[in-house]
Amino acid sequence: MRTGLQCHRHFVKALFAGVIVLCLPGCSEAPEEDWYAIANGADTEVGKVEVRSLILVASAENEAGRLLGTLYNTSDEPLNVTLSDEDDNVTIRVEGQSNLGLDTHAHFFSSVSEIPGSRVPVTITVGPDSTQLDTPVLDGTLQAYRPYVPTSTPSP
């Protein structure tokens, strides 16, 4: 039979172990910029333009893909942002000190080279600056993206 002191020790040990387990997630090795990711898309900065939550929505491999995300122009001047993959180029003008949501300004690639669920490299160019961004390809599986799945090949 346990004495009161033994029960107290077991309780303290269990409490201490619980506190340690609760504190461990705070020791995460994840970079701080990943802590706040709340969208499915990819983010980057090119020159004076911030690209946020960029994705391609397509029904299948080699089908038309709609670009979704937001372009933020942090400069005072209008800028042209060119997004390109292996066979398409789309140039979008973003006014100075403003943002442009691609959910309300439709832009398409004529074909997406990968299946939904994968990523495709998209090159983003602003003036002399450019970067390549591995961009997720999604389809209409998630209800939020169903309205953006192209139903036929859009004209450029």
pLDDT, tens only, 10-21: 665 655 555 555
* Owning domain of residue 72: 37-148
Residue 15: the pLDDT is 54
Residue 18 lies in a domain: no
Residue 43 lies in a domain: yes
Q: Write the CATH number for 117.
A: 2.60.40.3770
Residue 126: the pLDDT is 98
Q: What's the structural domain count of the chain?
A: 1
> What are the residue ranges in the chain where pLDDT is below 50?
27-28, 30-31, 35, 155
From the list 51, 67, 55, 68, the residue with the least C-alpha distance to 118 is 55
Residue 28: the pLDDT is 47
Residue 151: the pLDDT is 85
Q: Indicate whether this model's pTM tops 0.95.
A: no
Instruction: For residue 26, count other CB atoms closer than 10 A to its CB.
Output: 6
